[in-house]
A = this chain, B = another copy of it.
């Protein structure tokens, strides 16, 4: 039946909440992020605990901003980049609410939104909080090198965003409507450079975006924006090439959260990455533009690289995935 599913009842993103680090708030999202961190440790003793606290903070924020109480929430759908998604699991511990843990790496915001919309549309839950985030320092420690080592970053590298975003998905009411989703397949073009996530993920983004337009029969101009999660500058160029080769020109309205999140992306080479990247940009800047700024239709395709240090260590390439959701106002 194809990759695209339609939500007849059009569940709403009724409220959002975001938090981001100092560096992130210097950029375009600064005016829109709900909580700007002064200190990326967020008062905690470890990076991982800070990451978890950011998630709790935005889950709480989305509930409060939506005018709900904790006991009105039927489900939390969340995941993150850390081994065994400990940020999500430990954040969920503080809520007496059913929890579905998901893993889609940096595609988690889109995957969670799709799952939440399916549960809302199917009548299985009225109020669902989806949330994800990432922390530069915990990601560096887990995936790359200890920060203390001061390892030089190659030019194709991206910078993991310190931040988290949450959305309250409800059955009806005001807000941004989730009208359909195109679920991604795992795509692997054989990239093995763990510093080049953009190149690894671009084919997955292309695959899902092409499937979306093929199955819906729409043109790219149907959307005000076609948003990818964290391909970065290089990955975005590859995506546009890959879709153009297949006869789909998205260059007029494509924007990548990773490419735009930092003020001067040259400092961070290809831009931002991490599950928090698209989560923060979507739930602050883009949500605001949809609610008040005249942007009416977004195809939000977040991409994830499904590698681990073990898989790379064993010589594997990097399988990637992109899930897309259609957001309308």
Q: Which residues of A contact B (CB under 8 A)?
A: 1, 3, 5, 46, 48-49, 74-75, 79, 81-86, 89-90, 92-93, 95-105, 111, 115, 118-119, 121-126, 142, 183-188, 306-311, 314, 316, 319, 321
Contact = CB atoms under 8 A, between A and B. Distances in A.
Contacts of A308: 82-84, 86
B105 A102 contact: no
B105 A311 contact: no
Contact of A306 (B84, B126, B187, B306): B84
Nearest to A48: B310
Contacts of A79: 103
A5 to B, nearest CB: 4
Nearest to A141: B310
20 contacts: A1-B126, A48-B311, A84-B105, A84-B311, A85-B103, A89-B186, A89-B306, A90-B306, A90-B316, A93-B187, A93-B319, A95-B185, A96-B185, A97-B185, A100-B102, A102-B102, A118-B122, A119-B122, A121-B122, A122-B122
Given A89-B319, A186-B93, A83 B310 contact: yes
A262 to B, nearest CB: 25
A98 B75 CA distance: 23
Contacts of A126: 1
Contacts of A321: 89, 99, 101
A310 B75 CA distance: 26
Nearest to A310: B48
B90 A311 contact: yes
A190 to B, nearest CB: 11
A82 B307 CA distance: 11
Contacts of A90: 306, 311, 316, 319
B83 A84 contact: yes
Contacts of A187: 93
A100 B105 contact: no
A213 to B, nearest CB: 16
A5 B84 CA distance: 26
A86 B310 CA distance: 9
Given A99-B184, A118-B118, A122-B122, 6 more contacts: A1-B126, A84-B306, A85-B306, A86-B308, A93-B188, A101-B321
A126 B102 CA distance: 21
Contacts of A92: 185-186, 319
A83 B83 contact: yes
B183 A3 contact: no
A221 to B, nearest CB: 26
A310 B103 contact: no
A178 to B, nearest CB: 13
A49 B124 CA distance: 37
A314 B46 contact: yes
A302 to B, nearest CB: 13
A186 B99 contact: yes
Nearest to A84: B308
A98 B184 contact: yes
Contacts of A118: 118-119, 122, 124
